[in-house]
A and B are shown apart, each in its own frame.
Chain A
Amino acid sequence: EVQLVESGGGLAQPGGSLRLSCAASGFSFSSYWLTWVRQAPGKGLEWVANIKQDGSEKSYLDSVKGRFTISRDNAKNTLFLEMSSLRVDDTALYFCARDRDIYRSGVHYDAFDIWGQGTMVTVSS
């Protein structure tokens, strides 16, 4: 079965750190871009970061740049999100997602076709 399973969420104090993991199974992990998306309680979706198949390209939401680091271990089929200097407004359910990475006429299209169930991060004193 193709699936993504997040873990590592929990309660952190403002200024603290957490490391999220996303374990993949059922597909060729190293062939796909991967993405983190978050959702604050009762709010909409917010794209956080993504990473290329070999880890050579990464992009971030402006508000997390310098605080969050996305990485991957293709040998262990696992995606990570290292979060530091956490703020109250980082409180959210964090989803990882696979990008089908569609190319047509030289244009790359995102298509997040497989999602995990999410892991909750709460930042509070």
Chain B
Amino acid sequence: AIQMTQSPSSLSASVGDRVTITCRASQGIRNELGWYQQKPGKAPKLLIYAASSVQGGVPSRFSGSGSGTFFTLTISSLQPEDFATYYCLQDYIYPRTFGQGTKVEIK
């Protein structure tokens, strides 16, 4: 199975900060990667698919990039509602695999 490694595992940031989360795949996955946000006690929410396509209704401060084995999720100006855990997910081959998650906390 493809291993997805996110970094950092957690970070502390302030409202207004620019935040970047990375996701590395153990082998090339083209651009077949999505990003999800999960808040405590809630289901995940789709943010990005195909590495850089923003899901409808997602604020423009969220963006994704990357191809092959290295991907990033960027929040251009962190808002209070963005404090959550973020997961990448490769959809290149089965089984699909998630990264371990990155928890974004308030500084």
A positions within 8 Å CB-CB of B:
37, 44-47, 50, 59-62, 95, 97, 100, 102, 104, 107-113, 115-118
What are 20 A-to-B residue pairs whose CB atoms are below 8 Å? A37-B44, A44-B98, A44-B99, A45-B36, A45-B98, A47-B97, A59-B94, A60-B95, A95-B43, A97-B43, A97-B44, A102-B49, A104-B50, A108-B91, A109-B32, A109-B50, A109-B53, A112-B36, A113-B55, A115-B43
Q: How many A-B residue pairs have CB under 8 A?
A: 67
Q: Which of A60, A108, A111, A118 contacts B34 (CB 8 A)?
A: A111
What 1/0 flags go to B28-42 for Cβ under 8 Å of A?
A: 001010101010000
Query: Given that A102-B49, A107-B32 are contacting pairs, would A45 and B43 also be in contact in the complex, using a CB cutoff of 8 Å?
Result: no
- How many interface residues does chain B have, given as a range? 20 to 34
Known: A102-B53, A107-B32. 15 other contacts (CB 8 A): A37-B44, A44-B87, A45-B98, A45-B101, A47-B97, A61-B95, A97-B44, A102-B50, A104-B50, A109-B32, A110-B34, A110-B89, A111-B34, A113-B55, A115-B45
**In the complex, which residues of chain A have a beta carbon less than 8 angstroms from the beta carbon of B45?**
115
Shortest 9 CB-CB distances between A and B: which pairs? A110-B91, A115-B43, A111-B49, A47-B96, A59-B94, A44-B101, A45-B98, A109-B50, A61-B95
* Distance of B36 from chain A, by nearest CB (Å): 7
Q: Residues of B contacting A97 with CB < 8 Å?
A: 43-44
Q: Smallest CB–CB gap between A58 and chain B, Å?
A: 10
Residues from chain A with Cβ under 8 Å of B94 in the complex: 59
Q: Are B55 and A115 in contact (CB under 8 A)?
A: no
The SS class assigned to the A binding surface is: strand
Contact of B19 with A by CB under 8 A = no
Given A104-B50, A109-B49, A115-B44, A47–B34 Cβ distance below 8 Å? no
Min CB distance B59 to A, Å, is 16
A109 lies within 8 A of B44 (CB):
no
